[in-house]
A and B are shown apart, each in its own frame.
Chain A
Amino acid sequence: MQINGVLIEDTFAEAFPMWAARLIITADSPELAQQAVAAATGLAFSIIGCGCEAGSGEILSLKETPDGRPGQVALLYSYSPEKLEEHLMLRIGQGVLTSATSACFNGLEGEKTTKVGGKLRYYADGFQSSKRLNGRRYWRIPVADGEFLVEESFGMTQGVGGGNLIFLGCERLPLLEAAQAAVRAIRSVPGVVAPFPGGICRSPSKPLSKYVNVRASTNDAFCPTLRSRVDTWLPEDAGAVYEIVIDGLNEESMGRAMQEGILAACRRGGVLGITAGNYGGKLGPYQLHLHKILEGC
């Protein structure tokens, strides 16, 4: 299949189940809300090294937030409910609570819940108080600029992680611009994050390594500088590769994000071909076939 002269390989992205949480973070201004979201989702690029993948979601208008203040969504993904709970505690406690004027609400009704706010309240050292409204409990934690308001329970649901697109190009700069256009399109899909810096990963990895205790290592087949030394997967004229990793609340949103990403990159130009990473179906139950998700486009 070709779109605008870009070869779309007949392969699939292999994704696996991940547990997801959706936070609604509000503050006195949109800038402060975005700052709090950035703090809550920082250093959460790869599940391998960070234990959590996270990113910012849609910017919410005053009418869409529970407290009528500017807000933004933060999405967090991890491999188990326990690990996700651990990261929610850490990231709300360290990233959101410390951000000026912020408040944090649950944005997801999930299969499981975790009482993150109910544990964070102990930070108030006995001065915490709660409010109960429409069946939800909110904790008020006194802080130096007033109160930090946090919802007691946060929902966790089974999402899909590890979806990916791999862009191959002759030149680095045009390829990067195409990948950036793809990330913008992917991030416009609700419930989806591209967790890597700027949404783009320049270091696709492979599992394990020749060194003991190294869980992942550089995917040499995609490294242009190693094409003369290894079994390369790169076409002869490819000079750079960028990968976009995608996590979504469900398979549909991930498929839509991949579709939007491919189309945006093909429109931009500078891309030789687009492929996806998989492990022959051994990694996870979800297979997002590139040709299938582009049907009808």
Chain B
Amino acid sequence: MRGVLPETVLGRAKSEINQLAVRVDGRKVGLGQVCRVRLAGRMEDELLLLGDTSCLDHTGWNMQNGRLIVKGNSGWGAGDGMRGGVLEVCGNAGDCLGKDMQGGTIHVTGCAGDWCGAAEAGEKRGMTGGTILVDGDAGRGVGAGMRSGLIWVGGHAGDFCAWRMLAGTVICREGAGKFAGTGMKRGSMVTSRLEDVPLGFRAAGKADPGWLHLYLRALEGMGISMPYEWMDLSLSRYTGDHLEMGKGEIIIIP
């Protein structure tokens, strides 16, 4: 669905937007055949896609500004290469959400698939900036290879969360699966539960990280209800992966 963005449809007639070509199963169809389209906002710079768009890939591809709202599920690679603006998915998002993202914000009210904000297969580097907010669960490889930015998972993240992470921050409210943080060079992963601390990590005692106050505050400003009780708890900190650079950290909320 490359090219269907608030900035590109600005000033176009609704009928014209409905006829924008998108690919479904390799076939070209009009956008209006997949979902209903509406323009909103004071300057009509908000593009609303009403309906299930999970058959469309790359929703919000290379988006730079404006607001794209999907009232339904979105497909593979939503927010790919995003540099600014806001992509809201009021539903579930497919795999590779925010792949190659450089800026802006993605907010998914449902769950996200695998490799959210992660490096593409064969690539070393995942998202390099911006914020991904997932209210529900996320699949495997959240933030794998990510270089910068913030990923918030309100539910549970699958295995390989923050795997081979270069830098950035991943916060998983309800815990993460196996091999979390393995191969991490720098960056932070915060989680309430962890199945096991990876081998290359060392216990670094209790922590009260000031930066986490800052992040929780910023997330609250983005409409996320914050677990401020975390700040009153004694947080356990592990540094690693010492088999790599060893400048990363995993913070576990008891």
**A66 in the interface (beta carbon within 8 A):** yes
Q: Which residues of chain A (34-71) have a CB below 8 Å from chain B? A: 65-69
Find the B residue at minimum CB distance from A134.
Answer: B218
Find the A residue at minimum CB distance from B208.
Answer: A146
Q: A129-B247, A133-B218 are in contact. Are A67 and B213 (CB under 8 A)?
A: yes
Chain A: interface secondary structure?
strand
Contacting residue for A131 out of B129, B207, B211, B228, CB 8 A: B211
Could you tell me the distance between the alpha carbons of A23 and B15 in the complex, rounded to whole angstroms? 52
0/1 per residue, B218-253, Cβ < 8 Å to A? Answer: 101000000010000000000000000001000000
Q: A129-B186, A133-B150 are in contact. Are A138 and B218 (CB under 8 A)?
A: no
Is the beta-carbon distance between B213 and A146 smaller than 8 angstroms? no
0/1 per residue, A59-98, Cβ < 8 Å to B? Answer: 0000001111100000000000000000000000000000
Find the A residue at minimum CB distance from B149.
Answer: A132
Could you tell me the distance between the alpha carbons of A67 and B215 in the complex, rounded to whole angstroms? 8
Q: Would you mind naming 7 contact pairs between A and B with Cβ atoms under 8 Å apart?
A: A103-B210, A131-B211, A132-B129, A133-B150, A146-B209, A146-B210, A149-B210
**Chain A residues with CB below 8 A from B188, complex form:** 131
Find the A residue at minimum CB distance from B217.
Answer: A68
The 10 closest A-B pairs by CB, nearest first: A67-B213, A149-B210, A68-B217, A67-B214, A131-B211, A103-B210, A146-B208, A68-B213, A147-B210, A133-B218
Chain B residues within 8 Å of A, Cβ to Cβ? 129, 148-150, 169, 186, 188, 207-211, 213-218, 220, 228, 247
Could you tell me the distance between the alpha carbons of A64 and B186 in the complex, rounded to whole angstroms? 30
Find the B residue at minimum CB distance from A127.
Answer: B247
Is the beta-carbon distance between B247 and A149 smaller than 8 angstroms? no
Q: A132-B129, A133-B150 are in contact. Are A66 and B214 (CB under 8 A)?
A: yes
**A121 in the interface (beta carbon within 8 A):** no
A37 to nearest B CB, angstroms?
A: 17
Is the beta-carbon distance between B208 and A131 smaller than 8 angstroms? no
**A22 in the interface (beta carbon within 8 A):** no
Could you tell me the distance between the alpha carbons of A133 and B130 in the complex, rounded to whole angstroms? 8
Find the B residue at minimum CB distance from A28.
Answer: B208
Could you tell me the distance between the alpha carbons of A66 and B186 in the complex, rounded to whole angstroms? 24
**Chain B residues with CB below 8 A from A103, complex form:** 210
Q: A66-B217, A129-B186, A132-B148 are in contact. Are A138 and B211 (CB under 8 A)?
A: yes
Could you tell me the distance between the alpha carbons of A134 and B218 in the complex, rounded to whole angstroms? 8
Q: A131-B169, A133-B150 are in contact. Are A149 and B211 (CB under 8 A)?
A: yes
Could you tell me the distance between the alpha carbons of A60 and B228 in the complex, rounded to whole angstroms? 19
Is the beta-carbon distance between B213 and A69 smaller than 8 angstroms? yes
**Chain B residues with CB below 8 A from A132, complex form:** 129, 148-149
